Structure 1
Amino acid sequence: MLNAAPPALPASPLWLPFAPGPYRPAMGLIARPLAELTAFGADYPAQMAERRALLDLRRGEVFAVLPGSEAARREALRVIAGHLRADRAAWFAEPGGMLENRLTGERWNLAAPEGDPLECAGRLVQEDLCLLDPDSAALTAAVLCFPSRWRLADKLGRELAAIHARVPLYAERLERPVARFIAALAPGRLVERFNWTIHDGSALFQPEADGAHGPAVTAETAPARLHLRVERQTLSRLPETGAVLFTIRTRQVALAEVVTVAGAAAALAAAVRGLPESVAAYRGIAPFRAALLAALDRVAPQG
């Protein structure tokens, strides 16, 4: 049966994690079964093609490791591969001791992978993969193909407080709860959270902090130009090394598609209005906030 075509992928997720009302910084963690470590969707072929291209052509920008993270990188590959065998068996098989990706036709010798084990894991799933030191929670290794206005080279080796230094209200509201949670995170647990923002353009690889430059967004051009960008993030602790595996699954959808969902335009407009100026600026929304709200209000006028 291995020669039969694999089952179709599920529809790409359309996450709408914004909440109306005043902005409240929160961790927003939700416990999930370990089987939900990854989120596959119909966008898998396109995203994986882009990941391969970035790793082949711009590897120094999207892959980085520190000495001392070797064991954690090997364990991360074992965990990802074990998850795919157990929970994504419709698309992954093991003929002759190889891990076969039935969606791409690739085969991987996981006992002796070509290149770095963490890079190999990053070529199997849509998620970006980051490893945090078990003691300091500093970022020690990552495959980061789809950054949202940050560069891996700037964050490697930094602890979480330094990584999030630019995030409004993080130091005041989130630094201590995050540190406590990471310290207490036990193997066998998986938690999920979501981040969202709006980008001008559809590029998934966006390392530049100032975003795209082009003609000013208007209410007329906003539905096609602006994209809701959502990151599904998970945190889990690797059982052998104790390193924390932080995954980021990115989904980006044009505003024109988002507003077709009942209630989405009104909810997004309320969430955007509730953002403090500092948060809107940090997320890159400030330059087109008025145009975005005008476009949303055309779909769902304020009462």
Structure 2
Amino acid sequence: MPVTFKPLESYRDDFSFANSAEAIRRFPFPFAEDSYMYSVNIEPATPREPGSVFAHWFDIDEHYLSEMAERALVLEKDPDRCLVMPHMAQAAWDTLEMLMEHLAADYPEHFELRREGSDWLWINRPLQIEQRFTFGDPASLPCEPLEYITRQVQGDFAVLDQRDGNLYMDAGMVTCPADWSIKFDAGMSFTQWHAPVPMAHQMGVFERALKYLLNIQVDHPVRRLNWTMTINPRLDTSSETFHEWGHERSQITPENVARKVHLRVELQFMPRLPRSNALLFGIRTYLISLEELASNPAWACRLHRVLRDLPEAIADYKGLSLYRQTVVDWLAQFDPEAVAA
């Protein structure tokens, strides 16, 4: 199904971002039940419905041009949002190859890859890029290979080195994180960067998840959904920029809640990189306002019940506590049980 790109929208300042009816229809609503608790919700990343966010390994949608412009703005201010430790050079080329191959195969109207040995030609029509380069030679690209390709793909990417029975965040491009920082987490193990998450450790969630991830095989990727909420359609909610967005959590009122509060869902995709044996950790972020979400009343009803009954420790960790009750009160109108009460 061909992808049509919207004109440039903003994820900051005037926040002109909005979803079309088609983007709302394909939004990856993350709740299969009326309640939520941490779990190892990992599944094989087999292709699903054509046109859905699960159809391809790397999803490109109507917001492509806007998200790539946002990434460029973040990197202009803070180029260290992309980092590659020296021992991860091969994994960076691995990532470039995987992304180029899949984009060209899945979206041939927009991307093309031609190869003659190590001489490659990459064509990105939406961004008007035509780049000849020598695979394996960083001097033949305008920037380091991981940065080069991830400036052209939606979502964040961490590249995890596997050693000593653990995974280490030793490379990545992270410009739209949900309240974390690759500069802080760089070099940490899977166990270390998940240490702040409440309740899940007592349940053994991350121990089971790590064991699963360590055994991922080439060409057998896995995926999972994660979620939080964000005020305004702001992609860059990094730890570094907390001073720009943290105060917005206290500005939610019954009058603006539907427009300003957004459900933020991450489609996390994890394939094994064949040359380096590193694990690519893709974090594709989708935003939807409560107003847009409520166009599907079943979603609004379920979200009401999830947030109403969410354990306080999880609500605090996700940064929802200041405005959760306002959201729950607004969503109650879509829950027949709440209306009847």
Q: TM-score normalised to the size of structure 2?
A: 0.81
Shift in Å, 1:86: 1.7
1:273 positional shift: 1.9
Q: Distance in 2 between matches of 1:256 and 1:244?
A: 37
Per the alignment, do residues 280 and 7 of structure 1 end up closer, same or farther by CA in structure 2, a change over 3 Å counting?
closer
Identity %, equivalent residues:
26
Letter matched to residue 231 of structure 1: E
AA in 1 matched with 2:30: P
CA–CA distance in 1 between the matches of 2:35 and 2:27? 23
Give the Cα separation in 2 of the matches to 1:8 and 1:42.
Answer: 6
Aligned positions of 1:28-177 closer than 5 A: 28-33=41-46, 36-60=56-80, 62-94=81-113, 97-111=120-134, 112-135=140-163, 136-172=166-202, 173-177=204-208
- Stretches of structure 2 that go unaligned for 5 or more consecutive residues are 6-19, 48-54, 135-139
CA apart distance, 1:94: 4.2
Q: Match for 1:143: what amino acid? A: M
Q: Helix, strand or coil: the match of 1:98? A: strand
Q: Tell me how far apart the structure 1 counterparts of residues 3 and 208 of structure 2 sit (CA, whole Å).
A: 42
Provide the rounded CA distance (Å) in 2 between the counterparts of 1:39 and 1:54: 21
Of 255, 268, 276 in structure 1, the residue corresponding to residue 290 of structure 2 is 255
Name structure 1 gaps, 5 residues minimum: 1-5
Q: Do the aligned residues in 1 keep the contact of 2:3 with 2:61 (CA within 8 Å)?
A: no
Contact 2:262/2:290, CA 8 A, preserved across alignment? yes
Instruction: State the secondary structure of the residue aligned to 2:109.
Output: coil
Distance 2:233 2:103 in 1: 29
- Write the distance in 2 (CA, Å) between the matches of 1:54 and 1:106: 20
Q: Shift in Å at residue 98 of structure 1?
A: 2.3
Could you tell me which residue of structure 2 aligns to residue 3 of structure 1?
none
The answer to whether residue 235 in structure 2 is matched with residue 226 in structure 1 is no
| More divergent stretch after superposition (81-90 vs 143-152) | 81-90
Superposed displacement of residue 118, structure 1: 0.7
Q: Is the 1:220–1:295 Cα contact (8 Å) retained in structure 2? A: no
Cα distance per residue 1:46-80 (max 9 Å; x no partner): 111111222233212x2122221111111111111
Deviations 1:132-179 (A, max 9, x none): 112231101000010110111110000011101111123222121112
Cα RMSD of the aligned pairs, angstroms, is: 2.1
Offset at 1:7?
Answer: 6.0
Aligned to 1:184: 215
Against the structure 1 CA distance between its residues 119 and 18, is the aligned structure 2 distance closer, same or farther, given a 3 Å change threshold? same
Paired residue total: 297
Deviation at 1:21, TM superposition (A): 3.6
CA shift, 1:19, in A, is 3.8
Q: Which moved more, 1:165-174 or 1:116-125?
A: 165-174
Residues 103-155 of structure 1 show CA distances to partners (whole Å, capped at 9, x for unaligned) of: 12122334222211111121121021110112231101000010110111110
107-116 or 134-143: bigger deviation? 107-116
